[in-house]
Amino acid sequence: MDAVVGTTFLLPCFYTCTISSVNSTLVEWFRITDEREERIYQYVNRESSGWPLQATWVGDVSKCDASIIISDIQTHDSGRYCCEVTVFPQNIQDIGYLQLNVHQRTELAIVTPEAKEATVGSTALLSCSYTCTITGINHTLVEWFRTIDGHDEKVYKITHRKRSLRPLQVTWVGNDSTCDASITISNIQTHDAGRYRCEVTIYRYDKPSMQDIGYLQLNVHNEPEPTDATPTPTSTPAPVPSPVAGIVLGVILVIALLVIVAGVVWYCRRRRLRLCQTREPAASVEETHELNQNGQDGGARSGQGALAEQGDEPNNEGERETSI
């Protein structure tokens, strides 16, 4: 594998996932120098150790991935590397080797983001740009790869304005004039996640060709991420009455209730007064009649006065009949 000084480089390592009842996994990385092995990284039981600020674990033992990345790689990092994986309690071990060649940085330099987050079903932009100060360019070759189980799958290729890609999924959005080699992947699915590599090779008329590589980790989630979520229109909630409006409505209801109660009381009192006025004359007549029958107070009154009083009040049948 070829790398450029100062870049971050992926050292891939994958192993068999068909072993059952594995309790723990030990991953060790070594660099072979002068026939001696120098341990550069170790991962066991979710704990890792390695070069300070240089080697980083990017593997996942649940997917049988034991890969690491080396940041700020230098020429002295060139050499033969060894990846050893041991599973327990079976105590089964296997070893893989790769040769890393680190080259000095040339005029060509690629810039890619370290990672990209995407949601299932969305369209993801894989950004890749390169140096635009190179002169004497004949043509440019851009290739995109995805690393799967230690093997490179070509995702996209463009050279001499000819393109090759996965049908209806990968779209070229780059521009040679602006040194942009970006692509988009539409209808992203979880199986599209992985480590992507952007390779740019520039061919010149009278000088050797130049190449540089950039890496990008694509993570695909089932649920939308807050940073990538696109706001969707929602129904407008019904307006909530203000406290002042509630107070005013309450006061109006209380006043209306008081008016109704006052009206009922007034009507009852009026009806009662009318009944009392109707009953009082009848009671007076009955009282006078009883007194005359019993002979009480009859002599105290003059006959004409008594008859006049009796004649003043009508009976139920019209005018009271009087006799002398």
Model confidence at 67, in pLDDT bands (50, 70, 90)?
very high
- What are the structure tokens assigned to 48, written together? 């890792």
Question: What's the rounded mean pLDDT across residues 52-81?
Answer: 86
Please give the angle made by the CA atoms of 19, 21 and 26, to the nearest 5 degrees: 70
Q: What is the pLDDT of residue 168?
A: 64
Strand partners, 159: 141, 162
Cα Rg of the chain, angstroms: 51
Does a cis peptide bond (omega within 30 degrees of 0) precede residue 314?
A: no
pTM above 0.85, yes or no: no
Least confident of 141-155, 168-182, 225-239: 225-239
Domains 1-105 and 106-229 share a fold: yes
The tens digit of pLDDT for each residue in 15-35 reads: 988 888 888 899 999 998 887
What whole-number distance in Å separates Cα of residue 104 and Cα of residue 7?
A: 10
Give the pLDDT confidence score for residue 296 in this predicted structure: 47
CB 198, CB 125: distance < 8 Å? no
Rounded percentage of the chain residues whose pLDDT exceeds 90: 21
CA dist list (Å): 130 to 171, 188, 324? 19, 25, 141
Assign 161 a pLDDT band (cuts: 50, 70, 90).
low
**How confident is the model over 252-273, as pLDDT tens digits?**
887 888 888 788 777 777 777 7
Q: If you classify domain 106-229 with CATH, what class do you get? A: mainly beta
Tell whether the model's pLDDT for residue 50 goes beyond 80. Answer: no
- What is the rounded distance in angstroms from the CA atom of residue 270 to the CA atom of residue 264? 10
pLDDT at 142: 92
Give the lowest-confidence range in 36-50, 132-146, 293-307.
Answer: 293-307
Higher pLDDT, 269 or 289: 269
Return the CATH class of domain 1-105. Answer: mainly beta
Residue with more model confidence, 132 or 298: 132
Instruction: Please answer whether residues 86 and 92 qualify as being in contact, where contact means their C-beta atoms are separated by less than 8 angstroms.
Output: yes
164 pLDDT band, cuts 50/70/90, is low
What tokens does 237 get? 């909630």
Is a pLDDT exceeding 90 seen at residue 228?
no
Annotated domain spans of the chain: 1-105, 106-229
Residues 117-135: pLDDT tens digits?
Answer: 999 999 999 999 998 888 8
Q: Residue 130: CB partners within 8 Å, gap ≥ 6?
A: 108, 109, 110, 111, 179, 181, 200, 212
Over the stretch 185-213, which tens digit does the pLDDT of each residue have?
A: 999 999 898 889 999 999 888 888 888 88
Q: Looking at residue 252, what is its pLDDT?
A: 83
